[in-house]
Amino acid sequence: MNNSSTNTTSKTRLLLIPNYLADDNPSDFIADFVRHQVHHLKYFIVENEKIARSLINKLKLESTQQELTILLWNEHSKAEDMREITDMFKHGFDVGIITDAGLPCIADPGSDVVKIAHEKGIEVIPLPGASSIFMALMSSGFNGQGFTFNGYLPIDKIQRAKKIKQLESDLFTRKQTQIFMEAPYRNNQLLTDVLANCAPQTKLCIACNISSAEGFIKTKTISQWRQQLPDLHKKPVIFVLGI
């Protein structure tokens, strides 16, 4: 891997840049190593331009914001939008991917871009940073050797109930910790469905606002959670089922 701070070979590399997890994270939440690796970048593929520019400002790049080329790739993008991204790869300059929070390409559409990069023989460089998914797992007290990240569960109430029961079944039959998430404004509805469809003795870890001063990580049985419901509305949450 070429770890120099400038691209001296004229061969494009794709750098996967970690983002902050919470607004009150300290500036050194992003390591100096990362800042050094991305200092020269002028081309970016991002999930949300406003959020990406906020991170870029904190990274203090060599170039000004006005000198940067920023392309969007998110859940609203269309297949034809990828052409502009592949054209960017032809410039011979390094390109950075920025997600809204945490690590790119994990529960994030940036994986589409990485797939294209591999197909075109472009070197992909993951930079170290925080992942709320793995931070929730490591602090849950559940099995960290066998686990499944399920992403977002179905929105339809019937299908979601079916999925929750399946996850609980896999938890006990396969001994696999089950990790999932929801859009923040639907967290309370998801929690209600989890508590309604899981057995009282099943354990649930709720990791809310990880790394924020206002966050919490608690593991309780379903029965215990039913007695005192937390308000998770519009807060970033990772849910983990375990035994």
* Residue whose pair of structure tokens reads 């309780």 in the numeric block: 220
Looking at the domain covering 132-242, what would its CATH class be? alpha beta
Location of each CATH 3.30.950.10 domain in the chain? 132-242
Which of 81, 149, 151, 85 is CA-nearest to residue 114?
Answer: 85
The model's pLDDT over 60-96, given as tens digits with 9 standing for 90+, comes to 999 999 999 999 999 899 989 899 999 999 989 999 9
Portions of the chain given CATH number 3.40.1010.10? 13-126
Q: What is the mean pLDDT of residues 201-215?
A: 97
Q: Is 76 exposed, middle or buried (0-12, 13-18, 19+ CB in 10 A)?
A: exposed
User: Do the beta carbons of residue 164 and residue 198 sit within 8 Å?
Assistant: yes
Question: Domain 13-126 falls in which CATH fold?
Answer: Cobalt-precorrin-4 Transmethylase; domain 1 (3.40.1010)
Using one digit for the tens of pLDDT, what is the confidence trace for 125-164? Answer: 999 999 999 999 999 999 999 999 999 999 999 999 999 9
User: Using an 8 Å Cβ cutoff, are 189 and 210 in contact?
Assistant: no
What is the distance between the alpha carbons of residues 49 and 38, in angstroms, rounded to a whole number? 17
Q: Mean pLDDT across the chain, nearest whole number?
A: 94
* Residue-level pLDDT at 150: 97
Look at residue 95 in the predicted model and tell me its pLDDT: 98
* Residue 4 in this model has a pLDDT that exceeds 80: no
pLDDT at 224 over 60: yes
Cα 193 to its chain centre, rounded Å, is 23
Q: What is the pTM of this model?
A: 0.90
Q: What is the pLDDT of residue 2?
A: 43
Task: Identify the pLDDT of residue 133.
Answer: 97
Q: Residue 11's pLDDT is what?
A: 86
Least confident of 3-7, 181-185, 238-242: 3-7
